[in-house]
Chains A and B, each alone.
Chain A
């Protein structure tokens, strides 16, 4: 299977802090690729790098054999029509209804007539189970519904790649189950490629085809869910089992306690 996204030897730093140090990963067409890792290591940043909103310090990010950061602005905008991103907050436009939110990319990028748009939006909303909520405003939706509405908007233009940013964060078990089912179903029925960034281990291992685990600026584990579960890396096992202490220390980097308490005023 060919790769939709290829990242080669990419290094990215924000200010003096290195986020990624020379990482490489592939995303295969039609598969669900999960990227896992502890909070705060820049998983969202990875998606922004793929979407061309951020540029790496070195290395390359390819989407469909095109280097996202070396093409012109117009080409980048054309490229972005083939990908879409589900933001953690949903990022629905708060001043227009759910229907208009889903219709938004269609109205912006196509010349379809209003009746065609109406049908398309109804289909997309039906796919996420929110056809009845079309006339609600985003503020009237629960967190899980908002994310599903945002998903309907993300698939409005039938993209080839959907990037999910923490789709399960802060969801109750039912919404989480619905989202897991939706991601799998959309992937299978529309034939899209999916990248799921998350730290919810069990949910994502149940649907992912391939998993990358990021920690300490590097990829520390990669493979199918089964390979990951049976990995002998201590880091991977700590992450999967959620141990408080281990290779990823409980304490944030700090001078030793004795030094701080006894070592004077500085």
Chain B
């Protein structure tokens, strides 16, 4: 009873939907690296994380290598602990690597910048679950202004 025309048009409808999904999947959305499972985690303690959020990017020289997995507060020393998920393709950062919270542009989003250290001697690579020791906190505008005024007063 279903006429041929109906079937063809419903078929086109389905194809159009698949097209939309492909566009959204390939061009619009990132699939989230957690889903692929080829990742490892690094941890870092900061004094202040500023406006960093979960899912913020982790970049090395501007290249995205991972995302912020979670942010929590260490209950012993009350400093924020940031867990980073890094793509397995980039698994040979030396232990001397430093990490900083940076801002893209004046008003842009905050992200985590990794600065790989030098490899020499018996320095090994960072592996899953390691803490990055060398951290620089986020720049907090209010603190900067406060410091500026303070140093002015001292003059």
Contacts and interface: CB of A to CB of B under 8 A. Distances in A.
Range of interface residues on chain A? under 10
Interface of A: 96, 100, 107
A114 to B, nearest CB: 11
A107 B1 CA distance: 10
Interface of B: 1
Nearest to A100: B1
B-side interface mostly: loop
A107 B2 CA distance: 13
Contacts of B1: 96, 100, 107
A239 B25 CA distance: 76
A100 B1 CA distance: 9
A51 to B, nearest CB: 26
A223 B24 CA distance: 77
3 contacts: A96-B1, A100-B1, A107-B1
Contacts of A100: 1
Contacts of A107: 1
A165 to B, nearest CB: 28
- Those 3 A-B pairs whose CB atoms lie nearest each other, nearest first: A100-B1, A107-B1, A96-B1
Contacts, number: 3
A87 to B, nearest CB: 22
A96 B1 CA distance: 10
A164 to B, nearest CB: 28
A100 B2 CA distance: 12
B4 to A, nearest CB: 16
B142 to A, nearest CB: 70
A97 B1 CA distance: 12
A91 B1 CA distance: 20
A96 B3 CA distance: 12
Nearest to A107: B1
A64 B1 CA distance: 35
A95 B1 CA distance: 12
A101 to B, nearest CB: 12
B128 to A, nearest CB: 61
Contacts of A96: 1
A130 B1 CA distance: 22
A68 to B, nearest CB: 31
A201 B6 CA distance: 49
A220 B1 CA distance: 49
A171 B1 CA distance: 33
A187 to B, nearest CB: 32
A187 B100 CA distance: 95
A108 to B, nearest CB: 11
A82 to B, nearest CB: 25
A134 to B, nearest CB: 16
A178 to B, nearest CB: 30
B53 to A, nearest CB: 55
Nearest to A104: B1
A45 B1 CA distance: 34
B6 to A, nearest CB: 12
A18 B19 CA distance: 61
B5 to A, nearest CB: 15
A4 to B, nearest CB: 33
A104 to B, nearest CB: 9
A136 to B, nearest CB: 18
B1 to A, nearest CB: 7
A130 B48 CA distance: 88
A105 to B, nearest CB: 14
A100 B3 CA distance: 13
A153 to B, nearest CB: 16
B94 to A, nearest CB: 74
